[in-house]
């Protein structure tokens, strides 16, 4: 994110918003958004993680930069984010930030980060009416720590993606009802 100013951020935010909201394909609009965010913010991997019972997690969308392997199979059904320190950080700061994986007290998350060669990680909630998901961004080299400016951008990105996930749920439900010749109700 070095060399980028507020105007550049605003221009990118506008492009991101247009890209994800004008594409009505539930898979491609999220994939497009993750790729745009990853390239703009110098991330190596980005996930949309769905939470389940007991904070078990699964990856619903994954974007990887060139040369980075997908890790969907390493995370499905795990409880990497159920540690009290991480939950407190999420409740207090509205995000989880890991600048150095070796400082983690959550051994399960630390082990996963080592296995997947992740050094830095941030997680933001994706609030919508239908599910609780998380936006997870990671860096694989010890390039630089996450900056406060990036946290503000990621918070804004998470709001756009959450709104888009909700839109996708409504559109998918409406299309299914149309296919089944049932009444379409918009929540």
Taking only the tens of pLDDT, the chain with its 187 residues reads 566 778 888 899 899 988 888 876 767 888 899 999 999 998 999 988 887 666 667 788 899 999 998 887 666 655 555 566 677 777 777 888 888 888 887 787 788 888 888 889 998 888 766 667 888 899 987 667 888 888 988 998 888 888 877 777 777 777 777 788 766 555 5
Please give the C-alpha separations between residue 4 and each of 15, 76, 151, in angstroms, as whole numbers. Answer: 15, 35, 14
* Measured distance CA(151)–CA(121) in Å, rounded: 11
pLDDT at 34: 92
Determine the Cα angle at 178 with ends 172 and 183, to 5°.
105
* Measured distance CA(26)–CA(11) in Å, rounded: 24
pLDDT at 45: 93
| Residue 26 lies in domain | 6-179
Token digits of residue 142: 């010890």
Give me the CATH number covering residue 153: 3.30.450.40
pLDDT at 147: 86
Q: Is residue 186 part of a domain?
A: no
Q: Is residue 185 part of a domain?
A: no
Please give the C-alpha separations between residue 82 and each of 18, 24, 121, in angstroms, as whole numbers. Answer: 34, 33, 16
Q: Is residue 43 part of a domain?
A: yes
Nearest to 89 by CA among 114, 73, 106: 106
Nearest to 172 by CA among 14, 34, 24, 9: 24
The model's pTM is: 0.79
User: What is the total count of domains within the chain?
Assistant: 1
């Amino acid at each position: 994110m070095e060399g980028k100013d507020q105007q550049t951020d605003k221009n990118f935010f506008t492009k991101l918003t247009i890209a994800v909201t004008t594409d009505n394909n539930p898979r491609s609009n999220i994939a497009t958004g993750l790729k745009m965010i990853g390239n703009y913010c110098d991330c190596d991997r980005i996930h949309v993680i769905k939470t389940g019972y007991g904070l078990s997690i699964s990856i619903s969308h994954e974007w990887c930069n060139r040369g980075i392997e997908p890790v969907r199979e390493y995370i499905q059904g795990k409880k990497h984010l159920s540690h009290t320190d991480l939950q407190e950080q999420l409740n207090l700061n509205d995000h989880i930030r890991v600048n150095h994986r070796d400082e983690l007290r959550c051994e399960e998350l630390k082990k996963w980060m080592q296995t997947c060669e992740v050094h830095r990680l941030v997680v933001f909630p994706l609030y919508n009416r239908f599910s609780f998901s998380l936006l997870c961004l990671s860096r694989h080299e010890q390039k630089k720590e996450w900056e406060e400016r990036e946290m503000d951008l990621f918070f804004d990105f998470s709001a756009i993606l959450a709104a888009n996930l909700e839109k996708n749920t409504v559109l998918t439900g409406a299309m299914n009802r149309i296919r089944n010749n049932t009444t379409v109700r918009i929540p």
